[in-house]
Amino acid sequence: MLRELARHPVLVCLLLLCGCAAGSESPGTPSSRPPNLVLILADDLGWGDLGSYGQERIRTPELDRIAREGMRFTQFYAGSAVCAPSRCVLLTGRDAGRAQIRDNSPWARRENPFGEGQEPLAAGTDTLARRLQARGYATLCVGKWGLGGPGTEGAPLRQGFDHFFGYLCQAEAHNHTPDHLWKDGERFLTGNAPFDAHQELAREPESYAQYAGDAYAPDLFREAALEFVRANRDTPFFLFYATTVPHVALQVPEDSLAAYPATWDAAPYLGERGYLPHPRPRAAYAAMVSRLDADVGALDALLTRLEIADETVLLFTSDNGPATNGGADPRFFESAGPWRGAKGSLHEGGIRVPLLVRWPGHVAAGNTSALAAGFQDVLPTLLELGGADAPQGIDGISLAPTLLGRASEQRTHARLYWELGRGQALRAGDWKLIRRWSRDRDAPPTLELFDLARDPGERTDRAAEEPGRVTRLLGELRRARVPAARFPAPYDG
């Protein structure tokens, strides 16, 4: 550990700021305390990017092992098809129709004096972290926040986290080698040179090196997470590990890139679809996913060494489906699995995501659940497992009965609802309705109806054949949506 720190002085500075010792890894003291809770959130990872969900090109041995040791969900949904609203649903238990944040909000950066951040959560929001903090949990968010910029009421330390290290602004998080991050409300300088991750100009191959910094943010996040676990091994902790991988830009250290074939990429990515160019885009994407897998493995190995793995509930999921820009190639990897669509789409590929849950001795190993569930269910689930009460009036239901082998006690959703921009989607049972408005104000919305039991890939629109069902689901759509002043929508009229 100390030898590794000597090669990375920025990590030494980080650990000193955290007030964490870099040495002892003696086992934790057995107790009847509530379980530790670890929620790992990948960024733009597709349903099909893990070996346990059918991936054949990208190696994810650590997450595949966790899938074997716990429960794998096959019908689990993100809160939205893009970042900020999905995270809002995750941390508040309210679905997209009643969440505070309904879309990414570029205007919020202009309103922030630091020029960073998205629409902030309101002061006093009843978040997952706030409830666990009140229960006595030590709480850390590391990685990407996206729910309030510096100095706002939405900043993580005002929403239930004892500590935060990472990006407050999701746009800043598009650069994995930034010149600064945020540590407990203060700018943390990484030592990297500043540059813009939103360049769309083509670059010659010899100039790619300018986009590689010495400090790779996901590595810093891993070390901060490990130190938090070491420092809190004898007390219940909640670790929200919101990595920025594999969101573009495509950036990964050379040691990970070398693991994948040069033959995958016939040509470099020159930045024509946004973000930074890369000489080997497919290999870079795979390497980012595998490096994330190794980071999860490092965290899990530490839990084992400290003898607290059996006292720790570990969840792994992703905030939405795979991206199609910035050099990402979800078709090559079949990142969305068998589902139609990708990030930004309300078809299954944009919102259906992996969920792995492991708690040794409590969640039976090797199980698969087809329960239709979503991000709004994470809050009540973790609060129940942690011995805390869930807020009143949320949309989520606890998945604890399914996880703990009491399936007969499991409640189910009468409906699951999403909205984004000019579109809405609702699933009731196996039927799913998607309604979209065009930018032509005189044009009626389009309707698509799918029977997911017979047509999980959403290839056959049944709306014309099922007018009565469409009418009933349209009524559900109207009831699911509560208008939000900051996020007006055509379906409010």
> For the chain (length 493 residues), average pLDDT per consecutive 10?
44 49 48 90 98 98 98 98 98 98 90 92 98 98 97 97 98 96 97 78 66 91 98 98 97 95 93 89 98 98 98 98 97 98 98 98 98 98 98 97 96 98 97 95 93 98 98 97 93 81
Distance (Å, whole) CA 22 – CA 24: 7
- Residue 476 and residue 415 in contact, taking contact as beta carbons nearer than 8 Å: yes
Distance in angstroms (rounded) separating the CA atoms of residues 386 and 221: 24
DSSP one-letter string for 104-164 = --THHHHHSTTS---SPPPTT---HHHHHHHTT-EEEEEEE--S--TTSTTSGGGTT-SEE
Q: Is 8 helix (H, G, I), strand (E, B) or coil?
A: coil
pTM of the model: 0.94
- CATH domain 421-492 topology: Arylsulfatase, C-terminal domain (3.30.1120)
Residue 50: what are its φ and ψ, rounded to 5°? -105, 145
> Domain 2-20+33-414, what fold?
Alkaline Phosphatase, subunit A (3.40.720)
Q: Amino acid identity of 145?
A: W
Question: d(Cα 401, Cα 409) in Å, to the nearest integer?
Answer: 6
The answer for residues whose C-beta is within 8 angstroms of residue 127's C-beta and 6 or more apart is 91, 92, 121, 159, 160, 379
pLDDT score for 273: 86
Tell me if residue 358 falls in helix, strand or coil.
strand
Q: Which of 12, 37, 8, 16 is nearest to 359 (CA)?
A: 37
> Tokens 């955290």 — which residue?
18
CA atoms within 13 A on the CB side of 143: 23
Boundaries of CATH 3.30.1120.10 in the chain?
Answer: 421-492
3-class SS at 326?
A: coil
- By three-state DSSP, how is residue 189 classified? strand
Q: Are 70 and 363 in contact (CB under 8 A)?
A: yes
Q: Which two tokens stand for residue 198?
A: 């939103």
Q: Which tokens is 393 given?
A: 């009036």
Q: What pLDDT, on the 0 to 100 scale, is given for residue 16?
A: 43
List every span in the chain annotated with CATH 3.40.720.10. Answer: 2-20+33-414
Q: How far, in Å, CA of 37 to CA of 189, rounded?
A: 29
What single DSSP character describes residue 352? B
Cβ contact 433:447 at 8 Å: yes
96 CB-contact burial (10 Å; exposed 0-12 / middle 13-18 / buried 19+)? buried
Is the peptide bond between 249 and the residue preceding it cis, with omega within 30 degrees of 0? yes
- Say what the pLDDT of residue 24 is: 52
Both tokens of 104, joined, read 């990414």
d(CA 298, CA 92): 29
Q: 240: Cβ–Cβ under 8 A, 6 or more apart, which residues? A: 39, 41, 129, 139, 140, 141, 142, 143, 161
